[in-house]
Structure 1
Amino acid sequence: MRGRNPYMNIAFIGTGVMGRSMVRNLLKEGHTVQIYTRTKTKAASLIEEGAEWHDSVKQCVRKVDAVMTMLGYPEDVRDVYQGKQGILQSSSKGTLLIDFTTSSPTLATQLAEEAEDKKLHMLDAPVSGGDIGAQNGTLSIMVGGKAATVEEVRPLFECLGTQVVHHGPSGAGQLAKLSNQIAIASNMMGVVEALRFAEVSRLDPQKVLQSIQGGAAGSWSLTNLAPRMLANDTAPGFYVEHFVKDLRIALEEAKKLDLPLPGLQKAAELYEGMLHDSMGQLGTQALYVYYQNFS
């Protein structure tokens, strides 16, 4: 790999709820950031803060030290990386490629192999921590790929998160993130059912939340998402439609392992129901609203 400067020239593709804040944190740390969006106006705030906009993936990734992606779906990852003018075709030899998208472990392994053939160095590095973690630079980053590449990239990861764990070869980061999503899925059902139970029992849900969030029932979702539930705030920190995508991938992987996961299955059914009821663009905490509609 070619030598790196303390401050790197980075291409970042995918400036949605999470990506936008991640770009801001890279800029704050002194890195130069190139961005690609289909519509320039959607990147206006980042351009004002110092990011340099490009109108194609090819132009964005040329002559940079690292390329980062935070996309929606595995098919988006496939298109951006494997397209005729995509990242794998357009990046210079030695470039670091980091995919933060929660995607397919199989695809992550395939892309890493293709990258290596082109003398590129790729990591799958999905994150957890939601919009709050992205804003505060406190994400948990789960990494798959070669250990030497992980160590080279660690200073960049530390601009974005406070916990960086290398889980193994390519695809391992994605598998770790699926474990994370499985834990969240059942926990979200527990949080919603606890609040609904309190509400229907004619307790003050705010007081119940105050009592339980610091005890054995405490969780990230209870602390960060339950207040949004009680405030009827369904704005997305993480979209329902993207969570459904993650749960589908987790179920596919569990099937390959011949591993029954009834909690995951039930959570997936509930979130699929939300998608069917046109709630896909809401935040995952809108599960509380969904429960109110049928309980």
Structure 2
Amino acid sequence: MSKIAFIGLGIMGSPMSVNLVKAGHDVVGYNPNPDRVKPLIDAGGTSAGSSAEAVKDADIIAVMVPDSPDVQDVLAGEGGVFDSAKQGALIIDFSSIRPDVTVELAKQAQEKGFRLLDAPVSGGQAGAVNAALSIMVGGDAKDFAEAKDVFDAVGKTVVHVGPSGSGQTVKAANQLIVAANIQALSEAVIFLEAYGVDTKAALEVLGGGLAGSKVLDQKKENMLSRSFEPGFRIELHHKDMGIVTAAAREAGVVVPLGSLVAQLMASAKAVGDGGLDHSGLLRGVERLSGRKSD
């Protein structure tokens, strides 16, 4: 099995690193907050004091950090992966970032003797914990095949979708669909409650028809109980919707619904809901309907 360095042990990265250990890989992790390394250590992995220390002997380097500047810093920053890893190492970036940034980083990686796959994930914290993530992978097909054992340890649906940047493009489309679904579900819940319907029963029957979706299945309890413990934070989905709208503009296509949902996501962040799960968009519908409850 591979020697893997895992940089970024947050809500998603921590359970992913643990699942890699469970699959038999030798995993060393690094996170700026050392407390986040404990689950990996408890599972049998090890910790490093810096990303440079983590990657120095690694065959595969996994990255899961919040945004494009973070990935750029981890890979191309002073003392980063490009400066510290051994030649030929395979870098798998599980982060969700701008496609154009991925393309540029892939070029830099190749020039410096590395290989880079962009492999953003979907499925939230539950998918990460249960090794059931959907993973959309961009990059060289041979590198994708080489990473199969890694992907199989953390994901359930893993698809090579094209050259570098393609994974990030597909992830942007994923975030557009998910955001629109969450907003529609939020509106439906408030609509049903306004009429005094047994909302739980209503969502059960809706879930069995054409209105059913994984968003409904996974987020209905959050909305019914008004419990928005983050599985995927609004502030991160806000970032992703910025990627969607910018990439759409660059491609010369229109995303009218996506642009509207992006504004609603921005509003949620602006009023202080950024740290909540993205199902917390429900609170925005409550506010607009004059039904807000804190």
Instruction: Specify the TM-score bucket, using the shorter chain as the normaliser.
Output: over 0.9
Whether contact under 8 Å (2:134, 2:158) holds in the other structure is: yes
Partner of 2:256: 262
Letter in 1 for 2:168: Q
Amino acid in the other structure paired with 2:5: A
Say whether 1:173 aligns with 2:139.
Answer: no
SS of 2:102 mapped into structure 1: helix
Q: Which residue of 2 aligns with 1:16?
A: 10
* Residue identity opposite 1:257 in structure 2: A
SS, match of residue 72 in structure 1: coil
1:145 equivalenced with 2:119 (yes/no) = no
Query: What CA distance in whole angstroms lies between the structure 2 residues aligned with 1:40 and 1:100?
Result: 20
Which residue is 1:50 aligned to? 44
Do residues 93 (structure 1) and 87 (structure 2) align? yes
Of 156, 160, 171 in structure 2, the residue corresponding to residue 162 of structure 1 is 156
Instruction: Provide the secondary structure at the position in 2 that maps to 1:278.
Output: helix
Cross-structure match for 2:124: 130
DSSP-derived class of the 1:17 partner: coil
Alpha-carbon distance between aligned partners in 2 of 1:40 and 1:250, rounded to the nearest angstrom: 33
Shift of 1:49: 1.9
Corresponding position: 1:28 with 2:22: yes
Structure 1 residue matching 2:106: 3-state secondary structure: helix
Q: Counterpart in 2 of 1:65?
A: 59
Amino acid at match of 1:80: V
Per-residue deviation at 1:27?
Answer: 0.8
The one-letter code matched in structure 2 to 1:14 is G
The one-letter code of the counterpart of 1:136 is: N
Q: What SS is found at the alignment partner of 2:245?
A: helix
Distance 1:39 1:243 in 2: 22
Residue in structure 2 matched with residue 249 of structure 1 by the alignment: 243
CA distance in 2, matches of 1:20, 1:47: 10
Equivalent residue for 2:224? 230
Query: Could you tell me how far 1:230 is from its partner in structure 2?
Result: 0.6
Judge which range, 40-49 or 192-201, deviates more: 40-49
The secondary structure found in structure 1 opposite 2:6 is strand
Report the alpha carbon displacement of residue 264 of structure 1 after superposing the two structures with TM: 0.4
Give the Cα–Cα distance (whole angstroms) in 1 for the partners of residues 250 and 34 of structure 2: 42
> Following TM superposition, by how much is the alpha carbon of 1:46 offset from its aligned partner in structure 2, in angstroms?
2.1
Secondary structure in 2 matching 1:33: strand
| Cα distance in 1 for residues equivalent to 2:128 and 2:38 | 19
Question: Is 2:29–2:48's contact at 8 Å kept on the other side of the alignment?
Answer: yes
**Equivalent-residue separation in structure 1 for 2:168 and 2:96 (angstroms):** 6
Q: Give CA-to-partner distance per residue, 1:220-269, whole Å, 9 cap, x none.
A: 11000111111111001001000000000110000011211111011111
SS at match of 2:58: coil
What's the TM-score once normalised by structure 2's chain length?
0.96
> Unaligned 5+ residue runs, structure 2?
290-294
Select which of 273, 277, 281 maps to 2:275: 281
Match of 1:219 in 2: 213
Q: 1:293 deviation in Å? A: 2.1
The correspondence for 1:188, drawn from 182, 186, 199, is 182
**2:287 alignment partner in structure 1:** 293
Distance 2:122 2:152 in 1: 14
The answer as to 2:66 corresponding to 1:79 is: no
C-alpha distance in structure 1 between counterparts of 2:34 and 2:122, whole Å: 28
Instruction: Report how many residues are paired.
Output: 289
SS of 2:273's equivalent in the other structure is coil
The alignment partner of 2:44 has SS state of coil
Which of 201, 204, 220 does residue 210 from structure 1 map onto?
204
Pairwise CA RMSD: 0.9
